[in-house]
Structure 1
Amino acid sequence: MAPLNSFRFSWSYPRLVYSTTLYDVVYSTDCSAWLLRDLNLSQHRLSHTSSSTLQLVKGFIFYLFVMTDSESLNQVYERLQNGFASRDTFSVDFRLSELRKLRAFLQSTESDLLAALNADVHKKEVEAVGYDLSPIYSDLNYFMRHLSTLAKPTFASRDFGAPVYVHRQPKGLVLIFSAFNFNIMLGVRPVIDAIAAGNVVCLKPSEHATASERYLQRLTSVLDPRICAVVTGGPQRCTELLELKWDHILYTGNANIGRIVMAAAAKHLTPVTLELGGKSPAIVSASADVRLAAASIAKGHFINAGQVCLAPDYCLVEEEVYAEFVKKLVTTVREFYTDDPKSCRHFGRIISSRHVERIAGLVNASEGRIILGGDYDDSASHYFSPTVVEVANGDDALMQEELFGPVLPILKVKSVDEAISFINGRERPLALYLFSRDDDVTKTVITNTISGSVGINETILQIGGRGSFIGGIGESGIGAYGGKEGFETFSHKRPVMYSSSLFGRMFQLLLPTFYSTKDGKDNAHVARVTRFVCQIPQTTAGETGWCAKIANIYGGISVGIAAMCAEIGGSVKSSKED
């Protein structure tokens, strides 16, 4: 093995370079990432390096990267501040360039991404491509086509003859917290939205999904280090990040931590976007296609071993189709994952033994009847079988909190109205699902419930459509992101009125000199004219045609005439008094 042949540091750009015939390891605190170049492509050369030395170097680099102190975190923060102050991100061309680099990186490292997801939660390729990669590429492709248009000022109205446009500016420094269940997608997707809007980004991946966390660290070797940083660590690191002043914070996770994030943001009056999940119900009405309902609910609930914030968390089934639905659901789950789900290669795993124990505790505390599954292994396999439980009422242990695992409670209801009352009596969910072939039932449910999103005769996919987005309400979240909605979330909108000297002359009616007469009384004439002018219809965005244009011109002329009349009237009155 070749000895260490270079080891150098620079305070402005710290680097450790270890070179052998096998690979180069490059660590850069300025880029907040470590890179193992050619390691995966040159496994046959491992024989030239002792494993102990290799592990020593890799461990040393990982220590340098992860165990950074508060000063280095402040350096990362300062670098992002300087990056935004450079105003490079204000250029649409610069943003598109960064997004292209990100897309090229994702495409060239897709095998590594899939391997990371498989290592964390046993996720297989088809599921990963459909639920992790697809939303990312959808956002990237959307911004490639539409970013130039989105970034342009949009016409809002023409008030008193002067046009008003809405300009969208970057907010500044954005902090993003991802979640372990979709660590890559929930991290990269808001990063795309934030960069598209012209911000600089600090991403904090979940430390519980270690393989995808390591993958996300590589982002800083691709994107400009002035606009993107990836910070790793546990709760202490999150606390340190929240002590800094950000211009927007996006957090994905549970509501308890969401409250902590929101309280920390309030100290700096920082706006937040919270995606918090919750117990999303699925209503199966008497008019439903029971077979379709069973298949869609089984798919939506048991993908990723139930660790999906949008998953249907429990079912409310009308008693007319209850027995049929339960039978179809059990059959469908067995078809999906065989009679031995533990051996099924595409059934996922729980993220950790602690979460396996948490889910098992809820099932054991339930007074419901287990009609499928219920077995688990809290060892290193992190296995929990697909489980269906029949519960009697909403007081059951399985109905108190988001389960976030492959356990599906089913509750019988007498009618859709009872299901609506049950849902409205609880916290507002991130998603609501209805299975019905009756349009009146569909309209009733949509009109009389409140949720982040709704899926009719389908689960999960309602947020994946072009132009759609993810966002909750109340206990399930605040704000939204994804595609155009993400661009709006990370943009500051400000109205700009383009007046002129002519319009300025017209607006003199509003000057304080016209508020009252010389004898100190209110100027009733000006008040009447102002009230009249304010009632004149003005042109707004989307209004076209000669009628709108005439009304607009009439409004502008009226202001001018009113101002001149008021000025003449005031002059005549003052001359008489003199």
Structure 2
Amino acid sequence: MPRNAAAALRRYTARMPAHSDTPIEELPPTLGRLRDAWRARKPDRTQRGDDLARLRAALRSRLDEMAAAIAADFGHRSVHESLVADGLTVLSEIDHLRANLRRWAKPRRVGAGWRLWPARAEVRMEPVGVVGVISPWNYPVNLALIPLATAIAAGNHVYLKPSELTPRTAEFLRALLAEVFPPGRVAVALGGSDTGAAFAALPFDHLVFTGSTAVGRKVMAAAAANLTPLTLELGGKSPAIVCADFPLEQAAARLATGKWFNGGQTCIAPDYVLVDAARRDALVEALRREVRARYAGDGAASDYTRIINSAHAARLQGYLDDAARRGLTTVALAELDGDRLLAPTVVLDPPDDAALMQEEIFGPILPVLGYATLDEAIAFVAARDRPLALYPFSRDRRCVERILDGVLAGGVTVNDTLLHFGANALPFGGIGASGMGAYHGRAGFDAMSKALPILWQRRLAASDLLKPPYARIDRIVRWLVR
């Protein structure tokens, strides 16, 4: 761990704030205050830009404190992974929002059509009101502040509910946001599942939820009572398909980054790999070399992130125990020892009914399955729920296009992993069981805005003639519908 980050962790731990849950009965009045403040003074474009600039500056000055809070919650998390995944992503997204805010917010003229001449038409992107954000624990700053910043850019006020599994980071977020925003513009609710359920049932103008598919269904049911529009970024089993032409060493390096970044606790991590059967064992050996090169010596202590808590560690061990009972070949790619320190592990050719093929793994276990033909691999993926991410590996454009034609996913990175999340101009979201709606960049701005259509009529217009008796305008009507 870098010296300045280690010092920040010691300082943060020494003055760790006391965690206090938000009383559930305070949730509705807080939402009311946010909405009243928004109605009293909707943020104009200047205010939005200033808010984003202050948020960026505040986060940038506290990156070491952020990394320390996250490390304290995880037991240990790589400082560099926190800086990249929770620092860089947010700063980059804010920069993208600020650079494009004027263009996105500007009313745009559209054609009214010759039948409505001489009227003119435009579309205005209007803020919707108060946006709720329920964020998860795995990237607790990234997945809280990117939707929050997007909602602010669109001119909304925000009510944030961070995960209770990362309480120090939640306190960090509450303090950071209280410094940047007045209480009528952004509020933070802390608490467990009961608080989360009550929060999801509030009558927001838009609600963004990131988490598991199972909880996403509950959030959607709670929001339905208020007809709250939703953006759901859920999970699923995101596959990688390594085609026979792609070099194994490069595939292994990029799969290793995607799978073992953050200890595998990434919603778009490769959840299983399909590789041509003749090279399955060679891919496993290439993955072993990658892991040993990355986490040899003190690498595991400084660069390998722990499982978030004992319950998730037990869940992951349960997958391995199930594999052992089935007699499956399990390969630990490194020898690691420590509390909630689960070594990168490969399981070969698990059957469909194995526990780790039934649920999103969300940890450092990687099933590797051999396939006989590419069509077989595509059919295997297409027979399952649509994934949040898809990773085709091939130098042959035709093979990639066959995969893209056969599998519809939330997002795709070709010949690598994870990186489409970081492309600000690409919408990010799932489909089906992996989510609905999208955010990042323009997609998020539009999702958290109302595209308000406005038709401007002239002083004199043909519509003045549209009244009974219609016999007077029979010829005109028949001409219009010709």
In structure 2, the residue matched to 1:247 is 205
Correspondent of 1:303 among 253, 256, 261: 261
1:359 matched to 2:359? The reply is no
Amino acid at match of 1:190: P
Distance change >3 Å, CA 193–CA 249, structure 1 → 2: same
1:75 matched to 2:33? The reply is no
* Equivalent residues of 2:63, 2:83 under 8 A apart: no
1:369 matched to 2:325? The reply is no
* Equivalent residues of 2:22, 2:189 under 8 A apart: no
* Equivalent residues of 2:387, 2:410 under 8 A apart: yes
Amino acid at match of 2:330: I
Give the C-alpha shift of residue 163 in structure 1. Answer: 2.6
Amino acid at match of 2:26: S
Correspondent of 2:214 among 243, 247, 256: 256
* Equivalent residues of 2:332, 2:344 under 8 A apart: yes
Find the aligned partners of 2:163 and 2:302 in 1 and give their Cα distance.
Answer: 25
Find the aligned partners of 1:375 and 1:389 in 2 and give their Cα distance.
Answer: 16
Give the C-alpha shift of residue 458 in structure 1. Answer: 0.6
Superposition map of 1:20-39 within 5 A? none
Correspondent of 2:194 among 221, 232, 236: 236
Find the aligned partners of 1:405 and 1:262 in 2 and give their Cα distance.
Answer: 26
1:507 matched to 2:467? The reply is no
Find the aligned partners of 2:341 and 2:69 in 1 and give their Cα distance.
Answer: 18
Correspondent of 2:56 among 103, 112, 130: 103
Amino acid at match of 1:421: A
Distance change >3 Å, CA 158–CA 527, structure 1 → 2: closer
Distance change >3 Å, CA 70–CA 396, structure 1 → 2: closer
Find the aligned partners of 1:79 and 1:322 in 2 and give their Cα distance.
Answer: 58
Correspondent of 1:149 among 85, 88, 103: 103
**TM superposition score normalised by structure 1:** 0.77
Give the C-alpha shift of residue 465 in structure 1. Answer: 1.6
1:188 matched to 2:145? The reply is yes
Distance change >3 Å, CA 462–CA 250, structure 1 → 2: same
Find the aligned partners of 1:401 and 1:193 in 2 and give their Cα distance.
Answer: 31
* Equivalent residues of 2:272, 2:368 under 8 A apart: yes
Correspondent of 2:88 among 111, 134, 138: 134
Match of 1:382, SS state, is coil
* Equivalent residues of 1:374, 1:384 under 8 A apart: no
Give the C-alpha shift of residue 87 in structure 1. Answer: 2.4
Distance change >3 Å, CA 296–CA 42, structure 1 → 2: closer
Deviation digits for residues 439-463 of structure 1, max 9, x if unmatched?
1101111122100001110100012
* Equivalent residues of 1:393, 1:411 under 8 A apart: no
Give the C-alpha shift of residue 492 in structure 1. Answer: 0.7
In structure 2, the residue matched to 1:564 is none
Amino acid at match of 1:288: F
Deviation digits for residues 166-202 of structure 1, max 9, x if unmatched?
1111111111001000011100110000010011100
1:119 matched to 2:72? The reply is yes
Match of 1:529, SS state, is helix
Amino acid at match of 2:448: F
Deviation digits for residues 483-525 of structure 1, max 9, x if unmatched?
21111110011211222123x2x2345x24264x38xxxx763
Deviation digits for residues 499-553 of structure 1, max 9, x if unmatched?
2123x2x2345x24264x38xxxx7634420123xxxxxxxxxxxxxxxxxxxxx
* Equivalent residues of 2:58, 2:180 under 8 A apart: yes
Give the C-alpha shift of residue 374 in structure 1. Answer: 8.9
Give the C-alpha shift of residue 79 in structure 1. Answer: 1.5
Find the aligned partners of 1:394 and 1:436 in 2 and give their Cα distance.
Answer: 25
Give the C-alpha shift of residue 254 in structure 1. Answer: 0.5
* Equivalent residues of 1:116, 1:215 under 8 A apart: yes
Give the C-alpha shift of residue 242 in structure 1. Answer: 2.6
Match of 1:470, SS state, is coil
In structure 2, the residue matched to 1:481 is 439
In structure 2, the residue matched to 1:557 is none
Find the aligned partners of 1:375 and 1:356 in 2 and give their Cα distance.
Answer: 17
Find the aligned partners of 1:176 and 1:338 in 2 and give their Cα distance.
Answer: 39
1:531 matched to 2:475? The reply is no
Distance change >3 Å, CA 259–CA 41, structure 1 → 2: closer
Where do 4+ consecutive residues of structure 1 move more than 6 Å? Answer: 40-43, 374-377
Superposition map of 1:553-564 within 5 A? none
Superposition map of 1:76-475 within 5 A? 76-89=30-43, 91-121=44-74, 122-160=76-114, 161=117, 162-218=119-175, 219-338=177-296, 343-366=300-323, 367=326, 368-373=328-333, 381-475=339-433
Unmatched tracts of structure 1, length 5 or more: 1-39, 44-50, 533-578
- How many pairs are equivalent? 465
Which has the larger displacement, 113-122 or 252-261?
113-122
Find the aligned partners of 1:347 and 1:42 in 2 and give their Cα distance.
Answer: 19
Give the C-alpha shift of residue 375 in structure 1. Answer: 7.6
Find the aligned partners of 2:58 and 2:288 in 1 and give their Cα distance.
Answer: 42
* Equivalent residues of 2:132, 2:208 under 8 A apart: yes
Deviation digits for residues 356-408 of structure 1, max 9, x if unmatched?
0001001111232112259887x8x2211111111243332211110000000
Give the C-alpha shift of residue 203 in structure 1. Answer: 0.4
Find the aligned partners of 1:391 and 1:514 in 2 and give their Cα distance.
Answer: 76
Match of 1:81, SS state, is helix
* Equivalent residues of 2:292, 2:334 under 8 A apart: no
* Equivalent residues of 2:411, 2:420 under 8 A apart: yes
**In percent, how many aligned pairs have the same letter?**
37
Find the aligned partners of 2:315 and 2:132 in 1 and give their Cα distance.
Answer: 29
* Equivalent residues of 2:135, 2:143 under 8 A apart: yes
Find the aligned partners of 2:48 and 2:201 in 1 and give their Cα distance.
Answer: 28
